[in-house]
Structure 1
């Protein structure tokens, strides 16, 4: 069961509570005047020792104290508080705390840091339900309810809950293995999420895709025993403030073997159930927007298939005719994500969109360039839109690094026998992949997000956890909700 976030007008006596204290605190605020003298002295001594997380056990209940960071911008301070939520969660788990009150004494009338602490707690508490049948192996969640006292409004708290549910929805999709989430099942899960949240869904099946001549998606699917799907999700509220929609395109490769350009294993192939993280993120964003009734018209497109070497699998040297009519020489069947995204990007143009994003675990080059600490971005959107995305990245700490798309990079994907090929040079691999995609979205403002680094983690990393992270859900939600 997910944690419930709620608003509380007052802090009841004898409740398990955490207090956010401002940086540099040396004595407890007057609001905590009823704390026993011995406890006050203990906390004061811990503060003097520069402790950032302090616990006082009253036996009937516990008080926790989290000291906010003094370093950096407001966004970095909020991120430090999220990480404090992760650290606090371990203590709450050990203490078997089921219900926790949060009071922000660091921000006065502004509940921003209380929300950040709740965010860190909530995302840390996420566990993939999995498929264990041994009842003893199943872990019961200890923390089930977080109540924020005072500052943050009930509406802001509920909005945060819906966004975090969108992140966890994306994580659940990413963490599901291929035999539990093929392309058809993925499409069905997106439709189920739409039924729950309130957005509309349409699913194109194989005959429809063949009729549309989506040559990239169909080619990647040739080696699979399972059919491809193309899912259209649409959130279109009556009070939408944008005349033209924003379109989010998510890569939906539910498992990537590399095709005939087979990936090595163990290593490169082991975690390839995560190759649909972009599609999962788009689903999470649409879910959050619809649940929060955000007045922005947004369309999500997710082409989905697995990439296998069986049957009539496409081979290096093949020439594909794409949905747009462009021809592509295949030099490597493991550069498949850009092929299915290319069809979806060309399809996106029919909506005359305000701006198109594509989100994809596209290249190892992006992961090597910025690691798990950031997302690579590039595109043709204007500077104002890119700046707004960077600002959203700072607010959510899903930071982007903008790469260039200079004309010279087009040389990297020139083909002798087709319009372009699907593989660049050894250098600038993330950029040549972006340059490939650019050919299919020409004339439309567009941003490409390569999330290969942070999308799936093989070791725990604070509140992002281990496995699927749901990265870019919070980023894109923040960007879209702040569009005027």
Structure 2
């Protein structure tokens, strides 16, 4: 896609997209009678995502008109606009459009810049598909899109918002692509190379530690998880320092299991089919730091991924084992499929002890319990800091990525205490998302901390709104806005 603000006139477009509020008749030069007709006949009401199309002609020039509903004024949100424009761009593809004019609206109580952001993200995300390995795929033309009706006094602000939105789209689609790659391609080595390539493109430092260095760091929990794989693990460290005057550094820690069989606590075949996505948290932090660096935010960020595979072999760890950790805590292994929290324990402790981060966010496809509790629409959060969580909520509003804070009462912490070690990696059959988060919390050294469980939000089994089937890129935008807001 090629976007511009007022970049061409509506007369030169072959397709026009007009967002319409529910049951609100409006005037648009040349289309007044058509607009009155479709509302009068109730062929179109302006419900969210509703589409009405027709073709107009003027001096033998044909133009496709797409009315897309965005709901009533009181219910309009960035998410509804994203979903509406995801449908619109699919209709543009049906029309073989080349030049598309988007008529912006003046929505009372809704920020103008948020509308532009939602339009761009809805179009780009709705147009995305992962067809890299299809031999019969057809190339798509690069549609030129004008976001029009922007008044002169708003052009500069609109262009800034447009450029930021394009960056966030790039970073989110980077994460989607990483998640959608099959596990035989997206190995720990490949993930570390992808991080390195992103660092070169977007402007941040990348250091990758091999197995010997990981052993030297005494990351025993991480090494236990990956012991069953022939593919060597990688510790990926990404650094961006945009505020040399500040000693504050935000740590973004992403789960990086490029494949998870469950180990000896093996998953079902159905459960393993999507386990290439178990590095969705790692993909999110690569995408987030890419956007942060490209936009040159005045913040310091260190991202860490403990990348590896959880497989079965004679060397693999087993239920009942007692393993160590970089922090020196001992862990009783109750279930080898509760492996992500073990790798994250070492990764967050590394970020705190070696990289000296002052606040920490870990993000992971961690528990099926999160999916059971909150479904595919909302990310579960465990935190030790109310103010930090409120910053995340602000970022959630801007990104449209929903979050919900779970309790962290002391009674839950008791569930992960072991009789024969310091901790156990499963707290029982109840409150699984909470106890998994609190297990990681045992390694954060009382730093302000957020744990984001994206097990439900990182993947879609079917196309849904602006989500394609597969990886969603969950976490990229909310982490970017968290950093931008000063965390």
- TM-score, structure 2 as length reference: 0.92
Q: Which residue of 1 aligns with 2:169?
A: 164
Is the alpha carbon distance of 1:457 and 1:68 closer, same or farther for their aligned partners in structure 2, counting shifts above 3 Å?
closer
Change beyond 3 A, Cα 1:40–1:398: closer
**Greater CA deviation, 335-344 or 6-15?**
6-15
Corresponding residue for residue 80 of structure 2: 80
Give the aligned partner of residue 198 of structure 1: 203
Match for residue 45 of structure 2?
50
Post-superposition offset of 1:175: 0.5
Matches within 5 A, 1:280-299: 280-299=283-302
For residues 256 and 42 of structure 1, do their structure 2 counterparts lie closer, same or farther at Cα, with a shift above 3 Å needed?
Answer: same
Deviation by residue 1:98-135 (Cα, 9 ceiling, x = unmatched): 33221212338924323312211110111114223x3x
**Cα offsets for 1:182-223 (capped at 9, x unmatched):** 101110111101111111100000110011110011111110
Gaps of 5+ in 1: none
Aligned-residue offset at 1:242: 4.6
Inter-partner Cα distance in structure 2 for 1:321 and 1:310: 20
Q: Which moved more, 1:187-196 or 1:349-358?
A: 349-358
Residues 4 and 161, structure 1, Cα contact 8 Å, conserved in 2: no
Q: Which residue of 1 aligns with 2:478?
A: 475
| Matched residue, 1:66 | 68
3-state secondary structure, aligned to 1:249? strand
Q: Which moved more, 1:37-46 or 1:243-252?
A: 37-46
Matches within 5 A, 1:145-156: 145-149=144-148, 150=150, 151=154, 153-156=158-161
> 2:113 touches 2:161 (CA, 8 Å); kept in 1?
no
- Counterparts of 1:196 and 1:434 in 2: how far apart (Å)? 33
Q: Distance in 2 between matches of 1:470 and 1:122?
A: 13
Is this contact kept in 2: 1:342–1:440, CA < 8 A? yes
Aligned partner (choices 185, 190, 193) of residue 188 of structure 1: 193
Equivalent-residue separation in structure 2 for 1:128 and 1:210 (angstroms): 37
Counterpart for residue 413 of structure 1: 416
1:128 counterpart residue number: 130
| Whole-angstrom distance in 1 between the partners of 2:321 and 2:74 | 52
Structure-2 residue corresponding to 1:384: 387
Q: Aligned pair in 2 of structure 1 residues 281, 46: CA closer, same or farther (>3 Å)?
A: farther
Q: Which stretch of structure 1 is more off in the superposition, 416-425 or 47-56?
A: 47-56
Q: What 5-or-longer segments of structure 2 have no aligned partner?
A: none
Aligned partner of residue 384 in structure 1, secondary structure: helix
Offset of residue 62 of structure 1 = 2.0
Aligned CA-pair RMSD = 2.0
- Is 390-399 or 438-447 further displaced after alignment? 390-399
Note if contact 2:202-2:294 (Cα within 8 Å) is conserved in structure 1: yes
TM-score (norm 1): 0.92
> How far apart, in 2, do the equivalents of 1:49 and 1:19 lie?
13
User: 2:38·2:44 contact (CA, 8 Å) conserved in 1?
Assistant: no
1:233 lines up with 2:273 in the alignment:
no
**Is contact 1:324–1:343 with CA below 8 Å preserved after alignment?**
yes
Note closer, same or farther for the CA distance 1:66–1:201 as it changes in structure 2 (3 Å cut).
Answer: same
> How many angstroms apart in 2 are the aligned matches of 1:329 and 1:228?
22
- Deviation of 1:279 (Å): 0.2
